[in-house]
Amino acid sequence: MTVTDALAAGEAPVREAGLWSDAWRQLRRNPLFLGPAVVIVVFTVMAVAPGLFTRADPRACDLSHSLLRPRAGHWFGYDLQGCDYYARVIHGARVSMTIGIATVAGTAAVAVVLGTLAGFYGGLVDTLIARVTDVWFALPTFLGAIVVLSVLGGNGLPQLTLVLVLFGWPTMTRLMRSAVLVVRDMEYVTAARALGAGDVRLMVRHVLPNALAPVIVYGAIRVGIVIAAEATLSFLGLGLQLPAISWGLMIAGAQPRLLSAPHLLLFPGLFLSVTVLAFVLLGDALRDAFDPRLR
Protein backbone atom coordinates (compact mmCIF):
# COMPACT_ATOMS: atom_id res chain seq x y z
CA MET A 1 0.00 0.00 0.00
CA THR A 2 1.40 3.37 -0.93
CA VAL A 3 1.12 6.49 1.17
CA THR A 4 -1.27 8.11 -1.28
CA ASP A 5 -3.55 5.11 -1.19
CA ALA A 6 -3.53 5.25 2.57
CA LEU A 7 -4.41 8.92 2.53
CA ALA A 8 -7.12 8.31 -0.02
CA ALA A 9 -8.55 5.66 2.27
CA GLY A 10 -8.46 8.13 5.12
CA GLU A 11 -6.19 6.22 7.45
CA ALA A 12 -2.60 5.97 8.53
CA PRO A 13 -0.43 3.39 6.77
CA VAL A 14 -0.25 0.21 8.81
CA ARG A 15 1.90 -2.84 8.56
CA GLU A 16 0.68 -5.65 6.37
CA ALA A 17 -0.18 -8.57 8.59
CA GLY A 18 -2.71 -11.09 9.79
CA LEU A 19 -2.71 -13.11 12.97
CA TRP A 20 -0.22 -15.68 11.68
CA SER A 21 2.14 -13.34 9.84
CA ASP A 22 2.03 -11.01 12.84
CA ALA A 23 3.12 -13.87 15.07
CA TRP A 24 5.92 -14.81 12.67
CA ARG A 25 7.08 -11.19 12.47
CA GLN A 26 7.39 -11.17 16.24
CA LEU A 27 8.99 -14.62 16.49
CA ARG A 28 11.81 -14.17 14.03
CA ARG A 29 13.26 -11.33 16.10
CA ASN A 30 12.85 -13.06 19.44
CA PRO A 31 16.04 -14.75 20.73
CA LEU A 32 13.91 -16.86 23.08
CA PHE A 33 12.33 -18.36 19.97
CA LEU A 34 15.39 -18.50 17.72
CA GLY A 35 17.61 -20.23 20.34
CA PRO A 36 15.24 -23.13 21.02
CA ALA A 37 14.38 -23.33 17.31
CA VAL A 38 18.05 -23.79 16.37
CA VAL A 39 18.49 -26.44 19.09
CA ILE A 40 15.41 -28.30 17.85
CA VAL A 41 16.62 -28.17 14.25
CA VAL A 42 20.01 -29.58 15.35
CA PHE A 43 18.36 -32.43 17.28
CA THR A 44 16.01 -33.13 14.38
CA VAL A 45 18.94 -33.43 11.98
CA MET A 46 20.65 -35.64 14.56
CA ALA A 47 17.60 -37.90 14.66
CA VAL A 48 17.26 -38.12 10.88
CA ALA A 49 20.95 -38.41 10.00
CA PRO A 50 23.11 -39.35 13.00
CA GLY A 51 25.90 -40.17 10.54
CA LEU A 52 26.48 -36.43 10.11
CA PHE A 53 27.57 -36.20 13.74
CA THR A 54 29.49 -39.42 14.26
CA ARG A 55 31.14 -42.07 12.12
CA ALA A 56 31.37 -44.48 15.01
CA ASP A 57 28.93 -47.39 15.11
CA PRO A 58 27.06 -47.27 18.43
CA ARG A 59 26.76 -51.06 18.36
CA ALA A 60 30.40 -51.80 17.61
CA CYS A 61 31.62 -52.34 21.12
CA ASP A 62 34.86 -53.56 22.62
CA LEU A 63 34.64 -54.81 26.19
CA SER A 64 38.25 -53.82 26.79
CA HIS A 65 37.05 -50.19 26.68
CA SER A 66 34.35 -50.76 29.32
CA LEU A 67 33.58 -47.65 31.38
CA LEU A 68 36.61 -45.70 30.15
CA ARG A 69 36.37 -41.98 31.00
CA PRO A 70 36.09 -39.31 28.27
CA ARG A 71 39.30 -38.78 26.27
CA ALA A 72 40.55 -37.20 23.06
CA GLY A 73 38.69 -38.66 20.06
CA HIS A 74 36.08 -40.21 22.37
CA TRP A 75 34.75 -37.11 24.12
CA PHE A 76 31.94 -38.88 25.95
CA GLY A 77 33.94 -41.92 27.00
CA TYR A 78 32.66 -45.55 26.83
CA ASP A 79 29.76 -47.38 28.43
CA LEU A 80 29.71 -50.68 30.31
CA GLN A 81 29.83 -52.73 27.12
CA GLY A 82 32.72 -50.65 25.81
CA CYS A 83 30.66 -48.87 23.11
CA ASP A 84 31.54 -45.33 22.07
CA TYR A 85 29.23 -43.24 24.27
CA TYR A 86 29.19 -40.21 21.97
CA ALA A 87 27.82 -42.35 19.14
CA ARG A 88 25.21 -43.86 21.44
CA VAL A 89 24.02 -40.48 22.75
CA ILE A 90 23.81 -39.12 19.19
CA HIS A 91 21.84 -42.14 18.02
CA GLY A 92 19.55 -41.80 21.07
CA ALA A 93 18.12 -38.57 19.66
CA ARG A 94 16.11 -40.51 17.10
CA VAL A 95 13.97 -42.28 19.68
CA SER A 96 13.33 -39.12 21.67
CA MET A 97 12.46 -36.91 18.71
CA THR A 98 10.35 -39.60 17.04
CA ILE A 99 8.33 -40.34 20.12
CA GLY A 100 7.95 -36.67 21.02
CA ILE A 101 6.72 -35.59 17.62
CA ALA A 102 4.65 -38.68 16.80
CA THR A 103 2.90 -38.60 20.15
CA VAL A 104 2.06 -34.91 19.98
CA ALA A 105 0.90 -35.24 16.36
CA GLY A 106 -1.38 -38.11 17.35
CA THR A 107 -2.65 -36.28 20.42
CA ALA A 108 -3.28 -33.10 18.45
CA ALA A 109 -5.19 -34.99 15.75
CA VAL A 110 -7.55 -36.47 18.34
CA ALA A 111 -7.82 -33.21 20.29
CA VAL A 112 -8.47 -30.96 17.29
CA VAL A 113 -11.20 -33.19 15.89
CA LEU A 114 -12.97 -33.91 19.19
CA GLY A 115 -12.45 -30.42 20.62
CA THR A 116 -13.75 -28.73 17.48
CA LEU A 117 -16.81 -30.95 17.22
CA ALA A 118 -17.63 -30.52 20.92
CA GLY A 119 -17.11 -26.76 20.94
CA PHE A 120 -18.79 -26.05 17.60
CA TYR A 121 -21.91 -28.18 17.96
CA GLY A 122 -22.41 -27.96 21.71
CA GLY A 123 -25.47 -29.74 23.08
CA LEU A 124 -25.46 -33.52 23.11
CA VAL A 125 -22.23 -33.92 21.11
CA ASP A 126 -20.43 -31.64 23.55
CA THR A 127 -21.87 -33.33 26.63
CA LEU A 128 -20.84 -36.73 25.35
CA ILE A 129 -17.28 -35.72 24.43
CA ALA A 130 -16.80 -33.60 27.56
CA ARG A 131 -17.90 -36.40 29.90
CA VAL A 132 -15.68 -38.99 28.24
CA THR A 133 -12.81 -36.49 28.46
CA ASP A 134 -13.48 -35.93 32.15
CA VAL A 135 -13.55 -39.63 32.91
CA TRP A 136 -10.36 -40.22 30.93
CA PHE A 137 -8.74 -37.23 32.57
CA ALA A 138 -9.25 -38.85 35.96
CA LEU A 139 -7.05 -41.83 35.01
CA PRO A 140 -3.51 -41.46 36.38
CA THR A 141 -1.12 -41.20 33.43
CA PHE A 142 1.84 -43.20 34.65
CA LEU A 143 -0.14 -45.86 36.44
CA GLY A 144 -2.32 -46.23 33.35
CA ALA A 145 0.70 -46.31 31.05
CA ILE A 146 2.35 -49.01 33.17
CA VAL A 147 -0.78 -51.17 33.14
CA VAL A 148 -1.40 -50.81 29.40
CA LEU A 149 2.26 -51.38 28.50
CA SER A 150 2.44 -54.52 30.57
CA VAL A 151 -0.74 -55.80 28.88
CA LEU A 152 0.45 -54.90 25.36
CA GLY A 153 3.57 -56.97 25.82
CA GLY A 154 5.86 -55.60 23.13
CA ASN A 155 7.49 -52.37 24.26
CA GLY A 156 8.55 -50.78 20.97
CA LEU A 157 8.16 -47.23 19.75
CA PRO A 158 4.63 -47.77 18.39
CA GLN A 159 3.36 -49.14 21.71
CA LEU A 160 4.96 -46.30 23.69
CA THR A 161 3.52 -43.70 21.32
CA LEU A 162 0.08 -45.28 21.55
CA VAL A 163 0.15 -45.26 25.33
CA LEU A 164 1.33 -41.67 25.55
CA VAL A 165 -1.40 -40.54 23.11
CA LEU A 166 -3.96 -42.57 25.02
CA PHE A 167 -3.24 -40.73 28.24
CA GLY A 168 -2.39 -37.35 26.74
CA TRP A 169 -5.42 -36.40 24.64
CA PRO A 170 -7.87 -35.19 27.31
CA THR A 171 -5.92 -32.06 28.33
CA MET A 172 -5.42 -30.95 24.76
CA THR A 173 -9.03 -31.73 23.84
CA ARG A 174 -10.27 -29.52 26.67
CA LEU A 175 -7.96 -26.76 25.53
CA MET A 176 -9.19 -27.03 21.95
CA ARG A 177 -12.82 -27.14 23.03
CA SER A 178 -12.58 -24.00 25.12
CA ALA A 179 -10.80 -22.13 22.32
CA VAL A 180 -13.51 -23.19 19.85
CA LEU A 181 -16.25 -22.13 22.27
CA VAL A 182 -14.85 -18.60 22.25
CA VAL A 183 -14.38 -18.41 18.48
CA ARG A 184 -17.73 -20.01 17.64
CA ASP A 185 -19.59 -17.02 19.06
CA MET A 186 -17.55 -14.49 17.10
CA GLU A 187 -19.60 -12.39 14.75
CA TYR A 188 -17.50 -13.33 11.73
CA VAL A 189 -18.68 -16.92 12.12
CA THR A 190 -22.30 -15.74 12.08
CA ALA A 191 -21.48 -13.45 9.17
CA ALA A 192 -19.99 -16.34 7.19
CA ARG A 193 -23.08 -18.42 7.96
CA ALA A 194 -25.24 -15.54 6.77
CA LEU A 195 -23.39 -15.73 3.45
CA GLY A 196 -24.22 -19.40 3.04
CA ALA A 197 -21.16 -21.20 4.42
CA GLY A 198 -21.89 -24.74 5.67
CA ASP A 199 -20.73 -26.25 8.97
CA VAL A 200 -17.56 -27.86 7.63
CA ARG A 201 -16.47 -24.67 5.91
CA LEU A 202 -17.25 -22.63 9.02
CA MET A 203 -15.11 -24.95 11.13
CA VAL A 204 -12.18 -25.23 8.73
CA ARG A 205 -12.02 -21.66 7.44
CA HIS A 206 -13.21 -19.58 10.34
CA VAL A 207 -13.10 -21.48 13.62
CA LEU A 208 -9.89 -23.53 13.33
CA PRO A 209 -7.44 -20.83 12.23
CA ASN A 210 -8.60 -18.64 15.12
CA ALA A 211 -8.71 -21.40 17.73
CA LEU A 212 -5.51 -23.30 16.95
CA ALA A 213 -2.94 -21.07 18.67
CA PRO A 214 -3.35 -22.42 22.23
CA VAL A 215 -3.05 -26.00 20.97
CA ILE A 216 0.14 -25.21 19.03
CA VAL A 217 1.66 -23.60 22.11
CA TYR A 218 0.70 -26.45 24.37
CA GLY A 219 1.81 -28.95 21.71
CA ALA A 220 5.34 -27.56 21.69
CA ILE A 221 5.57 -27.79 25.47
CA ARG A 222 3.99 -31.24 25.30
CA VAL A 223 6.77 -32.56 23.02
CA GLY A 224 9.22 -31.84 25.84
CA ILE A 225 6.99 -33.49 28.42
CA VAL A 226 6.52 -36.59 26.26
CA ILE A 227 10.25 -36.96 25.63
CA ALA A 228 10.79 -36.86 29.38
CA ALA A 229 7.96 -39.35 29.87
CA GLU A 230 9.53 -41.81 27.43
CA ALA A 231 12.85 -41.53 29.27
CA THR A 232 11.06 -42.08 32.56
CA LEU A 233 9.16 -45.15 31.32
CA SER A 234 12.32 -46.59 29.74
CA PHE A 235 14.26 -45.86 32.92
CA LEU A 236 11.61 -47.74 34.92
CA GLY A 237 11.99 -50.66 32.55
CA LEU A 238 8.51 -50.22 31.03
CA GLY A 239 9.52 -48.39 27.89
CA LEU A 240 12.06 -49.45 25.34
CA GLN A 241 14.23 -52.47 26.14
CA LEU A 242 17.87 -53.11 25.31
CA PRO A 243 19.35 -53.34 22.73
CA ALA A 244 17.35 -50.24 21.73
CA ILE A 245 19.28 -47.01 22.03
CA SER A 246 17.51 -44.32 24.04
CA TRP A 247 18.49 -41.66 26.52
CA GLY A 248 16.15 -43.11 29.11
CA LEU A 249 17.82 -46.53 28.84
CA MET A 250 21.26 -44.95 29.06
CA ILE A 251 20.29 -43.08 32.22
CA ALA A 252 18.88 -46.30 33.65
CA GLY A 253 22.15 -48.07 32.90
CA ALA A 254 24.11 -45.24 34.51
CA GLN A 255 22.26 -45.42 37.79
CA PRO A 256 24.20 -48.23 39.54
CA ARG A 257 27.58 -46.67 38.57
CA LEU A 258 26.74 -43.10 39.36
CA LEU A 259 29.90 -42.52 41.43
CA SER A 260 32.38 -44.62 39.50
CA ALA A 261 31.32 -43.48 36.01
CA PRO A 262 29.36 -40.18 36.27
CA HIS A 263 29.79 -39.48 32.54
CA LEU A 264 27.25 -42.23 31.84
CA LEU A 265 24.57 -40.09 33.47
CA LEU A 266 25.92 -36.68 32.53
CA PHE A 267 25.79 -36.85 28.72
CA PRO A 268 22.39 -38.44 28.02
CA GLY A 269 20.96 -36.41 30.92
CA LEU A 270 22.32 -33.21 29.41
CA PHE A 271 20.98 -33.99 25.94
CA LEU A 272 17.59 -34.91 27.36
CA SER A 273 17.35 -31.75 29.46
CA VAL A 274 18.42 -29.49 26.62
CA THR A 275 15.86 -31.04 24.27
CA VAL A 276 13.02 -30.77 26.78
CA LEU A 277 14.01 -27.22 27.67
CA ALA A 278 14.15 -26.21 24.00
CA PHE A 279 10.57 -27.37 23.40
CA VAL A 280 9.26 -25.75 26.56
CA LEU A 281 10.93 -22.43 25.72
CA LEU A 282 9.65 -22.67 22.16
CA GLY A 283 6.13 -23.11 23.54
CA ASP A 284 6.57 -20.05 25.74
CA ALA A 285 7.80 -17.95 22.82
CA LEU A 286 4.87 -19.13 20.67
CA ARG A 287 2.42 -18.26 23.42
CA ASP A 288 3.81 -14.74 23.67
CA ALA A 289 3.64 -14.32 19.91
CA PHE A 290 0.04 -15.52 19.62
CA ASP A 291 -1.28 -13.51 22.54
CA PRO A 292 -1.99 -9.99 21.24
CA ARG A 293 -2.25 -8.64 24.80
CA LEU A 294 1.46 -9.28 25.34
CA ARG A 295 2.50 -7.32 22.25
Partner 1 sequence: MPSIPASAELPEPVLSVRDLVVEFPTTDGVVSAVNGVGFDLAAGETLAILGESGSGKSVTAQAVMGLIERPGRVVGGSVVFGGADLLAASDEDRRRVRGSGLAMVFQDPLSALNPVWSVGFQIGEVFRVHRGASRKEARRRAVELLERVRIPAAAQRVGEYPHQFSGGMRQRVMIAMALALDPRVLIADEPTTALDVTVQAQILELLDDLRAETGMGLLLITHDLGVVAETADRVAVMYAGRVVETGPTDAVLVAPAHPYTEGLLASVPRGQSGREERLRPIAGAPPSLARIPSGCPFHPRCPYVVDRCRAERPPLEGTGRAAACWRSDEVGRGRR
Does 3 contact partner 1 by CB under 8 A?
no
Distance, CA of 281 to CA of 220 (rounded, Å): 9
Span near partner 1 by CB under 8 A; candidates 5-13, 38-46, 97-105, 245-253: 5-13
Q: Which is nearer to partner 1, 23 or 114 (CB)?
A: 23
- Which lies closer to partner 1 via its Cβ, residue 257 or residue 287? 287
Contact between 195 and partner 1 by CB under 8 A: the answer reads yes
Nearest to 263 by CA among 273, 274, 251, 275: 251
**Separation between Cα atoms, residue 295 and residue 289, nearest integer Å:** 7
Q: Of the listed pieces 62-70, 73-81, 127-135, 194-202, which binds partner 1 according to CB under 8 A?
A: 194-202
- Shortest reach from residue 263's CB to partner 1, in Å: 50
Which residue type sits at 71? R
Is 257 within 8 Å of 264 (Cβ atoms)?
yes
9 forms part of the interface with partner 1 (CB under 8 A): yes
Among 45, 68, 181, 192, indicate the residue that binds partner 1 (CB under 8 A).
Answer: 192
Picking from 115, 232, 223, the residue whose alpha carbon sits closest to that of residue 177 is: 115
Q: Does 182 bind partner 1 (CB under 8 A)?
A: no
Residues 12-41 that bind partner 1 (CB under 8 A): 14, 16-20
Count of Cβ atoms closer than 10 Å to residue 136 Cβ: 15
Q: Which residues bind partner 1 (CB under 8 A)?
A: 1-2, 5, 8-11, 14, 16-20, 122-123, 186-188, 190-198, 201, 205-206, 209-210
